[in-house]
Amino acid sequence: MIKRLLGVDPGSIKTGVGIIDVQGNRIRHVHHTVIRTGKGDFDERLHILFAGLSEIITQFKPVDAAIEDVFVSKNVASALKLGQARGALIAACGAHGLRVTPYSPTKVKQAVVGFGRAEKDQVGHMVRMLLHPPEPLPEDAADALAVAICHAHHAPMKHLDRTVNKTVRKTA
């Protein structure tokens, strides 16, 4: 059974989107792009993110989604904007019935490179090695594909955890 996964690397100006197909332990590149919002009014940028991701979901019909967690740096205003952008993207997924699983940047890097503090170019290199996507592969799209790959590795375990927890509750 093939499972189509959506990975999202959120940003308020550029958001990476990657879609992969997973069958057993095989993964295959399906699509990648970057949704560019420009630097206009912030509410319009949020709408562009929502509409752009909605269009991609409608076209490619993923069954599950993953998004990178907000990275909080010293600039609180930027972190708040990134959080709002994530909200618009998560809302787009929800509007299409997709459950969204968040992953930390460290967990994504660990899953793809094997080292949680890997550099962006190392992540891009491993995404190219694993998926052989058509070039060019923008950095944001490579990061989104990495999120999808991370989800492919971790989603079966999360599903198993939920199944085990339900079974334990029923027998208790």
- Tell me the one-letter amino acid at 110: Q
Q: What does the block give as tokens for 51?
A: 């509409």
> 143: Cβ–Cβ under 8 A, 6 or more apart, which residues?
9, 16, 68, 108, 120, 123, 124
Look up 135 and say whether it is catalytic: no
Annotated active-site residue in 43, 135, 139, 140: 140
Look up 9 and say whether it is catalytic: yes
Measured in degrees and rounded to the nearest 5, phi and psi for residue 106 equal -65, -45
Spatial contact of 20 and 7, defined as CB atoms under 8 Å apart: yes
Annotated active-site residue in 9, 64, 121, 135: 9
d(CA 55, CA 118): 32
Look up 68 and say whether it is catalytic: yes
Annotated active-site residue in 68, 119, 135, 139: 68
What does each C-alpha distance from 145 to 73, 90, 124, 155 come to in angstroms? 23, 17, 9, 15
Spatial contact of 152 and 23, defined as CB atoms under 8 Å apart: no
Catalytically annotated residues: 9, 68, 140
